[in-house]
Structure formats: structure tokens, C-alpha cells
């Protein structure tokens, strides 16, 4: 199927940043480009994330792409052998086992594009994201704009008093802040 010059090689790409920074938008863009190039793609998201749709991956700007919601990241390994590109949205909601799963896919020759929050609401590294960034061939950190001062934002400030790690929400629950503004409100 592939000649030596077009040998199938896997890789891991991570798109990370704060809420409202365009992570999902960039994931969708990359996957649509792969599909346009006639590559076989599969997209996954955690079943817990049903903010905009139970099934589709949807950006804050309402762009979407069909996906498969999964409860266990191990289910991602059940892809068809002809899949060339796998997209995973909201990766921070999966456990540490996602790191090994993504590694296995890349070792099989699959291009894996992962998007997720790099930090939680308290500014600490979030879930498997640090490990995914460490093993990735490419990491792109995207930024929102701080709603207080207009500088680049890389923190997701929670507006509610909940101290639960996972609180799904939008602009009613989170706002993007730069380091200085985040440190003033934390």
C-alpha cells in the first residue's frame, strides 16, 4: 500500500491552552484538512462533555465535526486498521492511561491530534496533558485574550466557588485571564 518513500509514520500533535483560546477550533481545522486530503479520520471526545452536543465535537464558535464519545480512553484503540488520523478533544478529562494509548496509536503509524486544557482552574497542570506534551512531536500552545486587560491569556479562571476539579461550563463559569490578572483574583 505504501512505498518506502510514502511509508506510514505516526506522530503526536498536541494543541493546548486555556478556555476560549481556540483549541477545538484548531483541532477541527486539522481534521477537516486531513479529510479533504482523503485521509481516513476518527474523532473522539469524553462522554462527559455534552455541553454543545452529545456526539459532535463543537467549538465555542459553533464549528463542529462528528465524533465518537467514549467513557474509557482504551476504546480509542478499537479503530479500524485503515484509520490514518485520530483526533481527541478535551483530553484533560481522560486519565493518565491516555498517554500510553496515544503512544500506541502513533507507534502503529497513526497521526494523533490531541486538544485539551494544559492547566486546571487553579493554574496546575491538568490530567494527562503534561505527559502528552512531553511525548509529542509537535506542541502548539494557543492563547485567549484576557477579559480584564486585553493581554494574551493562558489561565482559565473559574467564576464559581466550586472546588471540584471538573466543572463543565462556558462564559458563565470561566473567563480567560493573563498571569497578572489571574494572580490578582486567585
Q: What is the distance between the alpha carbons of residues 150 and 126, in angstroms, rounded to a whole number?
A: 25
* Domain containing residue 25: CATH number: 3.40.50.300
Annotated catalytic residue: which of 13, 26, 42, 90? 90
User: Is 178 in contact with 146 (CB distance < 8 Å)?
Assistant: yes
Question: Is 90 noted as a catalytic residue in this protein?
Answer: yes
- Give tens-digit pLDDT for 113-146: 999 999 999 999 999 999 999 999 999 999 999 9
Domain, as residue range, for 18: 11-143
In a domain, 89, yes or no: yes
In a domain, 4, yes or no: no
Question: Band of the pLDDT at 5, cuts 50, 70, 90?
Answer: low
Q: How many domains does the chain contain in total?
A: 1
In a domain, 73, yes or no: yes
Going by C-alpha positions, the residue among 107, 97, 110 that lies closest to residue 43 is 110
- Give tens-digit pLDDT for 73-95: 999 999 999 999 999 999 999 99
Residues 96-120 have a mean pLDDT of 97
In a domain, 110, yes or no: yes
pTM: 0.88
In a domain, 162, yes or no: no
In a domain, 17, yes or no: yes
In a domain, 42, yes or no: yes
- Give tens-digit pLDDT for 20-41: 999 999 999 999 999 999 999 9
Per-residue pLDDT at 164: 77
Per-residue pLDDT at 1: 46
In a domain, 29, yes or no: yes
Amino acid at each position: 500500500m505504501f512505498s518506502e518513500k510514502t511509508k506510514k509514520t505516526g506522530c503526536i500533535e498536541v494543541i493546548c491552552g486555556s478556555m476560549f483560546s481556540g483549541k477545538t477550533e484548531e483541532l477541527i481545522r486539522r481534521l477537516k484538512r486531513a479529510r479533504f486530503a482523503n485521509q481516513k479520520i476518527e474523532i473522539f471526545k469524553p462522554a462527559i462533555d455534552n455541553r454543545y452536543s452529545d456526539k459532535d465535537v463543537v467549538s465555542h464558535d459553533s464549528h463542529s465535526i462528528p465524533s465518537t464519545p467514549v467513557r474509557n480512553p482504551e476504546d480509542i484503540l478499537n479503530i479500524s486498521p485503515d484509520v490514518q488520523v485520530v483526533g481527541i478533544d478535551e483530553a484533560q478529562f481522560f486519565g493518565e492511561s491516555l498517554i500510553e494509548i496515544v503512544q500506541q496509536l502513533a507507534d502503529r503509524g497513526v497521526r494523533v491530534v490531541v486538544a485539551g486544557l494544559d492547566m486546571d482552574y487553579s493554574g496546575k497542570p491538568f490530567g494527562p496533558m503534561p505527559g502528552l506534551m512531553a511525548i509529542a512531536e509537535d506542541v502548539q500552545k494557543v492563547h485567549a485574550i484576557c477579559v480584564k486587560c486585553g493581554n494574551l491569556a493562558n489561565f482559565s479562571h473559574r467564576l464559581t466557588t466550586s472546588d471540584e476539579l471538573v466543572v463543565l461550563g462556558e462564559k458563565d463559569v470561566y473567563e480567560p485571564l493573563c498571569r497578572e490578572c489571574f494572580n490578582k483574583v486567585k
